Structure 1
Amino acid sequence: MKLDEFGALIKANELFDLVVEDILALERSFGIRRLADQQVGTADFIAANIEEGYGRGSQRVYAQFLIIARGSAQETKGPYGRMKHWFSAEKIEARQSLCDEIIGILTATITTLKSK
């Protein structure tokens, strides 16, 4: 499979764009800077770890990077639950659902890689 066809990476890039859009809408909100920086960073780490692991050329190492990417997806999902002060419930649910999709794809891929 080509990396640019991997569903988790496609969805991770989509999530990153949505996180940036969300955070830019909050740039004038008091007390959000640290949380905003962290949210953008964790969303970026999902795709970055998928890409780096793929580039290592070893299924075992790739699986380890996907585990890290999965952790970053969980770390991106969590704060959205605490952002109820700034975002609608619908937006939070949509972002968390996308994180869950990424986590699901990564988990299935990790399982497949480890079984080989």
Structure 2
Amino acid sequence: MITNFAEWEESIPELIKADSLWNLKVYRLALFLADIAWYDVTRLVQERQTVSLADQLYRAIGSISANIAEGYSRGTGKDRARFYEYALGSAREGRDWYFKARYVLSDTVFSHRLSLLTNIIRLLLTMIPEQRGKIIREPQAKYHLDNLVDLSSDEVQLEILLQTVPLPNLHLS
């Protein structure tokens, strides 16, 4: 069972870590989120009302790292940016599904996943214009944690988020 990011990183096969893709922080965070989302969807499928929600959630969350990986492998910045935009869309979709799942997942789990997704979104919003060589086609947004902390100036919040990972209570028989 995953309890923190450092432990999780140690469990990743060296062949994955040897790829230069691993150097992208946003990729590592998205892959980590996909792993911990497994516990969340396991909990969600235990409730009849959230079975299809669990499927949609896991597809969206899994698409984030997959699109980052595919984009990273593209030859041009424009191509790369397109896949990073797909990853951004999946991150926002995942955030939407987590919001809908909050009734089954605990407040702690929901808040943690929302914060982690916010960090991933923030990183992607930085990477996309860098790849395109121009500004992104949407207004600049400030992302906050707990309505108090501006993420653009506080990496400490991300480190705290990665140290303690809440998991849903699984009712396994």
Please point out which of 81, 86, 101 is paired with 1:83: 101
Matched, 1:68 2:78: no
1:32-86 CA-partner distances (Å, limit 9, x unpaired): 2211111110011101111111112211100111011001000001121122221
8 A Cα contact 2:53 2:101, kept in partner: no
Q: Name the amino acid aligned to 2:41.
A: I
Task: Give the aligned residue type for 2:58.
Answer: V
- 1:37 alignment partner, SS class: helix
Kindly, what percent of the aligned residue pairs are identical? 31
Match of 1:28 among 46, 50, 59: 46
Residue type of the alignment partner of 2:94:
T
Amino acid across the alignment from 2:38: V
Distance (Å, rounded) in 1 between the aligned partners of 2:101 and 2:45: 14
- 2:124 paired with 1:106: yes
Letter in 2 for 1:115: G
Instruction: Measure how far apart 1:87 and its partner are.
Output: 1.3
CA distance in 1, matches of 2:42, 2:62: 15
User: CA contact under 8 A between 2:44 and 2:105: conserved in structure 1?
Assistant: no
Q: Which amino acid aligns with 1:39?
A: L
CA deviation after TM superposition for structure 1 residue 114, in Å: 1.8
**CA deviation string 1:82-102 (max 9, x = no partner):** 222211212111101111100
> Which residue of structure 2 aligns with residue 52 of structure 1?
70
TM-score, normalised relative to structure 2: 0.63
Gaps of 5+ in 1: none
Q: Distance in 1 between matches of 2:102 and 2:116?
A: 17
Gap runs ≥5 in structure 2: 1-19, 135-173
CA shift at 1:26, angstroms?
Answer: 3.0
Distance 1:81 1:49 in 2: 22
**What is the number of equivalent residue pairs in this alignment?**
115
Amino acid at match of 2:97: P
Moved more, 20-29 or 3-12: 20-29
